[in-house]
Structure 1
């Protein structure tokens, strides 16, 4: 293995939360006090060095698929949509549309008017999709009508109906490998060396385990998506696949959907649609046995909660659990009352948050929630102040993997130094990783070099170099 000596950089100290100008040597996967024989010297004077960042909630394979599928993020008309869908594929998969930006819902009738190929268009949030008549006929999905509010006449699939379709269109081994590679590069580009990922969607279990365990350019802390107590066995079985780069110690469960799709489970009706309160995947009584067994088997439980009703059910289910030793986790928490936050603190729960959602949802959130509930929306600063351990994440492919975009959004809630801590060491803590990752001698050599000061910059900038285990895995 080639060693590296980075000369003259400004190295960010996690302990002091400031910079020290020094040389940094890497050998045998760790930071070393002196250069190894034959190490490669790189002059990084004027650049900044940081411990590798941790995205504490994302979808690695989903991120890669987004980069391989048709991207609809900037579509704003039926003409631009039709142009994007003009691809020669047996089944056209596309993602990223937003009805507010598009100006209409891309329902079955509209899709039928612009393409005869089977198409599935997933909204940017990943919680609803629309399909056309050829796809409905191909997979005979009429039986999914009504599931979680799905409407096959409109070609509209929500939540578990969309999951069911994903299981019908499983990814091939080649598609999985390409998605892992593309997703890995998307994170390494911004200095993210560890991802807490959720990938068990539309993929064969054994294929997923073999594929993730073969990855070595970044570290993957997999949160296996389950919905039943007996599926905890998949996590115990999957631990035989663990490597220094792949860890499987956590379960991920969905309790609700998203604000944009109006499937986040709310206590009160949606402000802009009084007939809807969202979709609740399971109650506290259904979740609690899963939490209890996970406690016995030392499995971390990570729960997707966006609406306040989903949060309430999660808090009830976690009462009396082993949260303090396992760091049981809430993911998203986009609306929470002060009383609910106090219960998070009392129950020793942690949270993976996405500050960038506050910017992305700045138009739809007031519409969905109304002025009263907006006071409890995006309560990240209050959660930190009340003692909830937080780690930052992107939920990619919902949002960009860009570190700086997320840091800039987090400026509304935290100091930049606090945000860097939440994007690095806190991510490891939430994964129950007690290793020192401060770039001191003997620490793991996961780091990145960038030509801007992350304490100040707001302009999106990729890393110049990213190292994992002392290996150069990304270079501009």
Structure 2
């Protein structure tokens, strides 16, 4: 016998006060008085009335980008371009001339000026430093003159506003961290995730350098502090076989991440009808039907998953129509975001029944969606409908687009965030919200279930409460993977 958790509450089992774990699996859930006294127990942990839940799963996040964002300027919540410029000025003073200034999180919808920041704004703030600042969605960024010159874009991009592929053309000129430095930044992010109650991360758009940093980390510490499921960038198909040599229970290669469109905030999500506040645009498709079909055939032949970013209804329709025509294996297709789902798109989803991942926190930060979509805004983030249709639905953060904290997403799933003004018909019950952040994550990654039920994998957390009214302020007291404690609050003692 490994660990016995006692003096606890178990979510969904009112009578239970004890969870016993053996060989990484839950062996017993019930009353302490009924636990077999003959069992050999290595450790008994008094949880002091805490509630035991399944470990949380972030089904869509960007590990390297989250780690790097923690090292740059946090531009979330700024209310003006002037505020943004002041932060850039201060960073330039602290770094000195010539060093890159990187930031993320600005949203022009919050700015008093009512416009996107541009090259001139950044030149005024930091004329002697190359600057690249990502919008919150990551699909748009703004660069100053020095950054544009380094990327060879100064002649073709006059305002410094970068969209989709242009962002990468500038970003590739940012000096790279040494692999050891990147490994340390990733490790710190994983530790933070475990403190938040996350036991699994689905890592999207993983680069070769990112995976090599994970290899370095594994060689240094052995088992990773949580489970990582890897979805590589599409240009790394050939590298996947080499990467599989590093697989174990804590690091698994799942497939590729594809992009079919951009973001609603950047007017680049592909819509069937024009944007209300930009009538000349229906967004952009970043992947052709033929190219998508190529990846689907390859995935089916090699047996790996495709995690396909599709936000606008035109992009979602493209994915579903292509998959249906090819009779693509539903278990190998995840549609990421599925943000805008009007009736025709819902019909296609119902017929094909793919697995989907959603980001409930978008209901807070996309408060401006009415401006983009007008009456069609009633069709965004239809979590309840997707579940009612019988789809396998998982929740994620899209960090660093949204904070890594999963409790913010759980609360938004229940309250509908700032979109509650349109009604609560798509709000989830607390148990539904918990399911998409636990079992849902297992299902879309084709993994076995986990949680405080006999026979399941012992990826567990203990929290001070699970109150639907205060989900965003839940305190995680313990995180456990395979029955091994990876984080414990000092109030409970030592691991």
TM-score norm. by structure 2 comes to 0.86
Instruction: List per-residue Cα deviations over 1:162-215 (Å, max 9, x = no partner).
Output: 1233333344313421331232133222211001111435x6376256257556
Instruction: List per-residue Cα deviations over 1:12-64 (Å, max 9, x = no partner).
Output: 2xxxx444432223454333457986734332132111111111111122222
1:365–1:25 CA distance, 2 compared to 1 (3 A): same
- Residue number in structure 2 paired with 1:148: none
Deviation at 1:281, TM superposition (A): 0.4
Q: How does 1:6-21 map to 2 (within 5 A)?
A: 6-12=5-11, 17-21=12-16
1:452–1:111 CA distance, 2 compared to 1 (3 A): same
Q: Please tell me the root mean square deviation across aligned C-alpha atoms, in Å.
A: 2.4
1:279–1:209 CA distance, 2 compared to 1 (3 A): farther
Instruction: Single out whichever of 96-105 and 345-354 deviates more from structure 2.
Output: 96-105
Contact 1:324 1:349 in 2 (8 A): no
Contact 1:63 1:182 in 2 (8 A): no
Deviation at 1:321, TM superposition (A): 4.5
Deviation at 1:289, TM superposition (A): 1.5
Aligned equivalents of 1:451 and 1:209: distance in 2?
32
1:18–1:370 CA distance, 2 compared to 1 (3 A): farther
Detail structure 1 runs of 4+ shifted over 6 Å in the superposition: none
2:124 is aligned with 1:113: yes
Q: 1:25 aligns with which of 4, 7, 20?
A: 20
- Residue number in structure 2 paired with 1:352: 357
Task: State the secondary structure of the residue aligned to 1:204.
Answer: helix
Task: State the secondary structure of the residue aligned to 1:5.
Answer: strand
- Residue number in structure 2 paired with 1:417: 431
Contact 2:179 2:209 in 1 (8 A): no
Instruction: Single out whichever of 299-308 and 373-382 deviates more from structure 2.
Output: 373-382
Deviation at 1:117, TM superposition (A): 1.5
Aligned equivalents of 1:454 and 1:46: distance in 2?
15
- Residue number in structure 1 paired with 2:285: 280
Aligned equivalents of 1:24 and 1:408: distance in 2?
27
Structure 1: 5+ residue stretches without partners: 146-151
1:456–1:81 CA distance, 2 compared to 1 (3 A): closer
- Residue number in structure 2 paired with 1:172: 178
- Residue number in structure 1 paired with 2:444: 430
Contact 1:209 1:238 in 2 (8 A): no
Structure 2: 5+ residue stretches without partners: 29-35, 417-426, 490-495
Deviation at 1:456, TM superposition (A): 5.2
Q: 2:266 aligns with which of 253, 258, 261?
A: 261
Q: How does 1:1-400 map to 2 (within 5 A)?
A: 3-12=2-11, 17-33=12-28, 39-85=42-88, 86-87=90-91, 88-89=94-95, 90-104=99-113, 105-115=116-126, 116-142=128-154, 145=156, 152-169=157-174, 170-201=176-207, 204=209, 207-208=212-213, 210-211=215-216, 216-226=224-234, 231-321=236-326, 323-324=328-329, 326-362=331-367, 364-371=368-375, 373-400=376-403
Aligned equivalents of 2:15 and 2:334: distance in 1?
34
Deviation at 1:297, TM superposition (A): 1.0
Question: How many pairs are equivalent?
Answer: 457
Aligned equivalents of 1:441 and 1:376: distance in 2?
40
1:97–1:20 CA distance, 2 compared to 1 (3 A): farther
Aligned equivalents of 2:394 and 2:200: distance in 1?
13
Deviation at 1:361, TM superposition (A): 0.7
Aligned equivalents of 1:53 and 1:289: distance in 2?
34
Aligned equivalents of 1:470 and 1:84: distance in 2?
44
Task: State the secondary structure of the residue aligned to 2:5.
Answer: strand
Task: State the secondary structure of the residue aligned to 2:70.
Answer: helix
Task: State the secondary structure of the residue aligned to 1:427.
Answer: helix
Deviation at 1:316, TM superposition (A): 1.8
